[in-house]
Amino acid sequence: MNDVRDLVTCRRRTGLVWAALLVCSGLMAFAQTKNSCLDCHSNLPEPLGVSVETYSQNIHAQKGLTCAACHGGNADSDDPEKAMSRATGWKGKIERKQIPELCASCHADAERMKKYNPGLRVDQFQQYKTSVHGIKWAKGDSKVAVCTDCHGVHDLRAPSDPRSNVHPTNIATTCSRCHADAEYMKPYGIKTDQFANYQQSVHHDAMMVRGDLSAPTCTTCHGNHGATPPGVANVTNVCSNCHVFQAQLFETSPHKDAFAAMGFPGCVTCHSNHAIKHPTDEMVGTGPKAVCTKCHTEGDAGFMQADAMHNQLADLASANAASEELLGRVERQGMEVGQAKLQAAQARDALLKARVTVHAFRDSELKRDTDAGLAVARQTHVAGEKALEEWRFRRVGLGLSLVMIAFTLVGLGLYIRNLEQK
């Protein structure tokens, strides 16, 4: 019995020791992240004030860094004289021109960054120095963007955080803070309509309406830390990162050399840059919405090719629409057309492929794809017509059956009456 009591007592003591260790480790963790700066600055007004809530959401604070990591001084000390002593390296407010190098003192240090995030790149500063922003910064322009303009300062969050200024959905807005400000951009002599145009674009729709985070935003084409406008010769390379097949076909097309000779910037010549609208079949051809007629005039070979290509696309699109309308109609009438609908999907795919093949700008090549699609569309249309014919046959069959049943009922009724009258 005593042995059991000893065992219970021993277990209780072990439990107390564990509890004490847990409390101590919590206190030690608190001591490690002590940040005496906030004791005062959380109560100060802007621009010196930083609320505890704002700072707690800062990625650096979450990684255990204190104000002293950037501002210097001693965040452990509760004595303002010691905490903000120039002798101990306190820097006070960081000048704008010092910011890129200050950030780089950690973010360009591979050994140091490994401790926090081994996957994080450390070439941001090197890239920044090659950007338009970085080149102007090196020349002493203090208006150009530095790290904190995009990433934030005391509320700096990880780019994956949807509240971060550099989250994919927020990047365009962040860039527009300067680039859509006509007054601010005046000295640089560049347009300020990029953001307004981007908001009209298919890329913006993909990002903001469909929520596709892989859709292009400013940094996708211009780069982020090395942000620069892609040169005329490089536009195709930028677009081809996503539109691979279109770019490959363009490389083999007669437009490749012609555009280069005339100094036209590849894809942008027809699709524009920031205001890229959803392409339509009307863009190809000789109609009022066609872009081909910007260069080609009636009678030249390109004009005729453009017209032929438009007709091929229009024929396939209209054949697809007609067969799908028919299939939809007979399906609503209750006919089973699942297999024909699968075929219709193949015809739609053929049209999609043809719209990519357009970028080879050869009507013979496009015809191969549209002919294949038209053959499938014809098959689905025939399937739809057969289903419609079957539907009519069923109606007639039902009518005849009901007439026969009605005759039988009348006959039976008369027979019963005759039987019971006997």
Partner 1 sequence: MASPVASVRDWFHERFPLDDLIALAQKKKVPVHRYSYWYFLGGMTLFLFGVQVLTGGLLLMYYRPGADEAFESVQFIMTQVQFGWLVRSVHSWSANLLVFMAFAHLFSVLFLRSYRKPRELTWVSGILLLFLMLGFGFSGYLLPWNTLSYFATKVGTEIPAQIPIIGRPVMLFLRGGEDITGSTLTRLYGFHVAILPAVATLLIGVHLALIQWFGMSVPPGIEERWQAHPAEKKEIRFFPNFVLRELMAWYVALGLLGALAALFPWGLGVKADPFASAPAGIKPEWYFLSMFQTLKLIPAKILGLDGEMLGILAFGVIGAAALLLPFLDQEKPFNTRRWIPGLACVFLGYMAAMTVYGWVAK
Q: Which is nearer to partner 1, 119 or 338 (CB)?
A: 338
Nearest distance from residue 43's CB to partner 1, in Å?
A: 48
Q: What are phi and psi of 25, to 5 degrees?
A: -65, -35
Nearest distance from residue 396's CB to partner 1, in Å?
A: 10
Residue 391 tokens read as: 């539907």
Nearest distance from residue 413's CB to partner 1, in Å?
A: 7
How far apart CA 333 and CA 280 sit, in angstroms, is 32
Q: Which is nearer to partner 1, 87 or 419 (CB)?
A: 419
Q: Which is nearer to partner 1, 180 or 383 (CB)?
A: 383
Selection from 70, 7, 3 nearest residue 35 by Cα: 70
Residue 235 tokens read as: 């536009």
Q: Which is nearer to partner 1, 23 or 416 (CB)?
A: 416
Indicate the SS3 state at residue 267.
helix
Indicate the SS3 state at residue 255.
helix
Three-point CA angle 111, 113, 117, nearest 5°: 125
Nearest distance from residue 61's CB to partner 1, in Å?
A: 39
Binding site for partner 1 (CB under 8 A): 334-336, 338-339, 394-395, 397-398, 401-402, 405-406, 408-409, 412-413, 415-416, 419-420
Q: Which is nearer to partner 1, 127 or 346 (CB)?
A: 346
Nearest distance from residue 333's CB to partner 1, in Å?
A: 9
Nearest distance from residue 332's CB to partner 1, in Å?
A: 11
Q: Which is nearer to partner 1, 146 or 326 (CB)?
A: 326
Q: Any long-range contacts for 305-311 (C-beta under 8 Å, 24+ apart)?
A: 305/361, 305/362, 305/363, 308/363, 309/284, 309/285, 309/358, 309/361, 309/363, 309/366, 310/281, 310/282, 310/284, 310/285, 310/286, 311/285
Indicate the SS3 state at residue 388.
helix
